[in-house]
Amino acid sequence: MKYEDMAITVTQLNSYIKDKIADDEYLNNILVKGEISNFKNHYTGHMYFTLKDENSLIKCIMFKSYAQKLDFMPKDGMKVFIVRRSFCL
Phi, psi (degrees; rounded to nearest 5) at 70: -70, 145
Compute the radius of gyration of the chain from its Cα atoms: 16
Give which of 89, 76, 82, 68 is closest to 29, Cα–Cα. 82
This prediction's pTM: 0.75
Domains of the chain plus CATH, in order, are 3-85 (2.40.50)
Task: Output the pLDDT for position 1.
Answer: 78
Q: What is the pLDDT of residues 67-83, one digit of tens each?
A: 999 999 999 999 999 98
Pairing of strands 79-85, 47-52: unpaired
Strand partners, 28: none
Q: What is the pLDDT of residues 20-75, one digit of tens each?
A: 888 888 887 889 999 999 999 999 999 999 999 999 999 999 999 999 999 999 99
Position 88 pLDDT exceeds 60: no
